[in-house]
Amino acid sequence: MKRLLDSIANIAVIVASVVLLVYLGSSWYASRNSPRPPDARALIGSTIHLPGVNLALGSKTLLIAISPNCRYCRESEPFYRQLAKIPGLQTHLIAVVPVPLAEGKSYVNSSIDSSLEVVSDPLSEIHVQNTPTLLLVDGQGRVKNAWIGKLDDAGQRSVQSEL
């Protein structure tokens, strides 16, 4: 009987060890291979070339990369409207949309503000992978600051303080 109990205990230890190793191995693999959330800091310092747009016209331009099909862009529309209505704003605002220009203008004019310049361009051209993304660029097209995703109150205040 003692031998049987020893054998069962040994098998239980081996099974528990294998389960633990599988769990730790899968956790390690997932941490190394799961998609990482976008990092706005990686965009800072890159240079933007937006065909048809002269970024040198002003000292600062805020590129608002949005899509009419993006839930978070739609949820952020009140903030973008607020930015467009800031009196005496010295920063040029440009909406960059990855859809045909007519569709992009219709979306921006009806949802945000008709005063925004709208540019249709693949977002990869401005190094953007996710919408919404805000890029503050200087007159040479260098990204000075970036914000990715739907912004909370602190993020919105951060954008406003930079303008």
Domain map (residue ranges) of the chain: 1-34, 40-162
Query: What is the pLDDT, as a whole number, of residue 99?
Result: 94
Residues lower than pLDDT 70 in the chain = 29-38, 57
Question: In the structure encoding, which two tokens stand for residue 17, read together?
Answer: 């060890």
Query: What is the pLDDT, as a whole number, of residue 144?
Result: 92
Query: What is the pLDDT, as a whole number, of residue 134?
Result: 93
From the number of C-beta atoms within 10 Å of its C-beta (0-12, 13-18, 19+), residue 97 rates as buried
Query: What is the pLDDT, as a whole number, of residue 32?
Result: 60
CA 47 to chain centre: 17
Single pTM value for the model: 0.74
* Helix (H) or strand (E) segment spanning residue 107: helix 101-111
CATH architecture of 40-162: 3-Layer(aba) Sandwich (3.40)
Query: What is the pLDDT, as a whole number, of residue 91?
Result: 87
Query: What is the pLDDT, as a whole number, of residue 36?
Result: 46
Query: Is there a contact between 60 and 136 (Cβ–Cβ < 8 Å)?
Result: yes
In sequence order, which residues have a C-beta less than 8 Å from that of residue 83 and are 6 or more positions away? 62, 64, 89, 93, 159, 160, 163
Query: What is the pLDDT, as a whole number, of residue 34?
Result: 44
Query: What is the pLDDT, as a whole number, of residue 33?
Result: 55
